[in-house]
Amino acid sequence: MAFVERLTVYKDSLKVFQDYPLTGAGGGAWFNLYQQYQNNPYTVKQVHNFFLQYLNETGLIGFFALMVLLISVFVLYARQFFKQDHSERGTHQIFYIVAVSLLVHSVLDFEMSYAYLAALVFLCLGGMAASIGQPVPLLSSQHIAALNKGAFRLIYPSAVGILSLVIIFAAVRELQGNRYYAETMHMLTTQQDLAMDDVFRPLGAALHVSTEHPEYLNLKIQLLYQGYNQTKDARFEQQAKQYLAELDHSSPYDKQRLEFEYNQYVSEDKLDEALAVTERSLQQGIWGINASRGGPNWYTRAIALSYELGERARADRQPELQAKRWDRAEELYQTAVAKKESLKALPPGQLQGELFDIAPDMSLFVGQINFQRSNHERAAELFKQHVSDQTDDPLNRTLVRWYLAALQKQGKSDSAVYDAFVTKHPEEQEQIAKLVSDNS
C-alpha cells in the first residue's frame, strides 16, 4: 500500500474515532464500519496502524490505558537499564528489542492483528517488567511479602489456571463447530440430490456450538430460503426470518445477509422491503460496493427500485408517493455522480480501489423519470451518456430508443444515430413514435 493510500486510511480511521471517542466501537470496529467513512471505494480490512485501530476499538479510555502500560514499562526498564553495569544489561535486552521492533513497525502495518505477534509483544513487556527489580510504587515491600504467604500466593496461579482451562474449552468448541461447518460445505460441493435434513444436521451442530457465528447463520439462511423457494413451505421462510433476526442482533453490520434479504424480497415482489434493504446497505457502505466482488452496486439497485415503485404508484394514481419515489431516485443519482467526481481529486499515486461508475441502467431510469416529467432536455443528456452502436444489447437498445424520443420531444434529432438505429431495427421507428405520442 502506497503512503498516500495509508494516509487516506488513517484519516478515515479518525472519522470512526470522532463518532466513538470514549469507549470506541468494540472489537473489529474498523472492518465492520470503514465502508461508512471511506474517502474512496478501497478494500482495506486493517488500518495498517495498530494504535489508530486500537483507538477505533477501545476509544480514549482503552487507548490511554494502553499508553500508561507501555510508557510505564519502557520508562522503568530504561531507568533500570542505565543503572545496571554492562555485565547485567544483556539478560533481558532481547525482550526490549523484539517489543520495540514490532511496535514501531505496527505504526505502518498490522502485525498486531495477528494474535501470536500481539501475544509475543506482551510477553516481551512482561520480560522487561521482570528485569526492573523494584516494587510497584503503590505497594510497599511489606504488602508484597504478605501477598506471597499463605493462601494469597495461590490466588494468582489458580486464577490463571482456571482462565486457561476456560479458554481451551472455548477454543475446542469453536474448532468443533468449524469442523461441522466444513463438513456441511463439503457435502454441498461434492454431493448431489441431498436431502435438506442431511445438510441441516452438521450445520445445526455447528450452530449449536457457535450460535452467533455469521458464516454459519448466513449459510443456514441461504439454505432455508432455497428450500422455501423450491417447496413454498412457510416453515422454511419463518425459520429464515428467525435466523435473520438473530444475525441482525449479533452481527448488525454483516453485509452478506443484506444480499440474501434483497434477493428474497425481489423474488417475492416485495419491492418496498427490498428498497429498505438497499437504503440500509447504503448507510453501511456509502459507495454502495457489493459484498460479492463484481456484484451490482447498491446505488443501481436503489435507483431501479425507486423508479419501479414510482411507476406502480403512478398506475395506482398516488401522485405524492410517485413523486417521493422518483425524487429519491434523482437524489441517489446525484449522490453517485458527486462521488464519481470526487474520485478525480485523488492525489497522484493513489489508486481508486473498487470500480465505481455511473451504470447505464442508472442513467436510463433517471432519464425515464425526467422524460415523464417533461424534462426532455435533461432526459436526452442522461440517455446520451451511454448511447452506443451495440444495440443488440437490450439495455443499449432501450437507451437509444428513449434518447431519440427525448430529442423528438424537443423538436431535435440525431440523424446519424437515428438512421443507423432504424436501419438495423426497423420496428424501433414505431416504438419511438409511440413513446413520443404516449407522453404528449
Indicate the number of domains in the chain. 3
Residues 120 and 184 in one domain: no
Q: Does a structural domain hold residue 353?
A: no
Buried b (16+ CB within 10 A) or exposed e, 383-414: bbebbeeebeeeebbbbbbbbbbbbbbeeeeb
Q: Does a structural domain hold residue 257?
A: no
Last residue of a domain, one of 252, 276, 296: 252
Cα distances from 242 to residues 218, 221, 239, 249, 261, in angstroms, run 12, 9, 5, 11, 13
Q: Does a structural domain hold residue 391?
A: yes
For residue 111, the one-letter residue type is E
Q: Does a structural domain hold residue 166?
A: no
**What stretches of 196-289 show up as alpha helix (H) in DSSP?**
196-209, 214-231, 234-250, 256-267, 271-284
Cell 456484484 sits on residue: 295
For residue 83, the one-letter residue type is K
Contact (CB, 8 A) for 409 and 436: yes
pLDDT surpasses 90 at 137: no
Cell 480511521 sits on residue: 13
Q: Does a structural domain hold residue 280?
A: no
**What stretches of 106-151 show up as alpha helix (H) in DSSP?**
115-130, 141-147
Q: What is the pTM of this model?
A: 0.87
Residues 7 and 125 in one domain: yes
Query: Among 11-15, 146-150, 278-282, where is mean pLDDT lowest?
Result: 146-150
Cα distances from 394 to residues 97, 294, 419, 425, in angstroms, run 65, 21, 18, 12
Q: What percent of the chain has pLDDT over 90?
A: 71
Residues 117 and 13 in one domain: yes
Residues 12 and 119 in one domain: yes
Instruction: Name every residue whose Cβ is closer than 8 Å to that of residue 141 and which is 6 or more positions away in sequence.
Output: 135
Return the pLDDT at 360: 95
Return the pLDDT at 130: 84
For residue 260, the one-letter residue type is F
Residues 94 and 22 in one domain: yes
Residues 184 and 115 in one domain: no
Residues 7 and 93 in one domain: yes
What's the CA gap between 432 and 399, in Å, rounded? 11
Q: Does a structural domain hold residue 217?
A: yes
What nine digits make up the cell of 76?
522503568
pLDDT in tens, 394-436: 999 999 999 999 999 999 989 999 999 999 999 999 999 999 9
pLDDT surpasses 70 at 277: yes
The residue among 353, 327, 325 whose CA lies nearest residue 340 is 353
Last residue of a domain, one of 252, 280, 309: 252
Residues 122 and 181 in one domain: no
pLDDT in tens, 358-370: 999 999 999 999 9
Residues 20 and 98 in one domain: yes
Return the pLDDT at 397: 95
pLDDT surpasses 80 at 89: no
Q: Does a structural domain hold residue 333?
A: no
pLDDT in tens, 281-299: 999 999 999 988 888 999 9
Q: Which domain holds residue 231?
A: 177-252
* Element (DSSP H or E) covering residue 178: helix 152-190
Cα distances from 159 to residues 125, 136, 154, 225, 340, in angstroms, run 21, 21, 8, 46, 56
Cell 463484481 sits on residue: 294
Return the pLDDT at 88: 66
Last residue of a domain, one of 98, 133, 168: 133
> What's the Rg (C-alpha) of the chain?
30
Residues 9 and 93 in one domain: yes
Q: Does a structural domain hold residue 25?
A: yes
Residues 14 and 91 in one domain: yes
Cα torsion through 117, 119, 124, 129, rounded to 10 = 150
What nine digits make up the cell of 438?
404516449
What nine digits make up the cell of 267?
423474488
pLDDT surpasses 70 at 96: yes
Residues 103 and 183 in one domain: no
Contact (CB, 8 A) for 403 and 438: no
Average pLDDT for 92-118: 91
Q: How far is CA 321 from the centre of its chain?
A: 31
Provide the residue count of the chain: 440
Query: Among 134-143, 267-276, 346-355, where is mean pLDDT lowest?
Result: 134-143
Of 144 and 395, the one with more pLDDT: 395
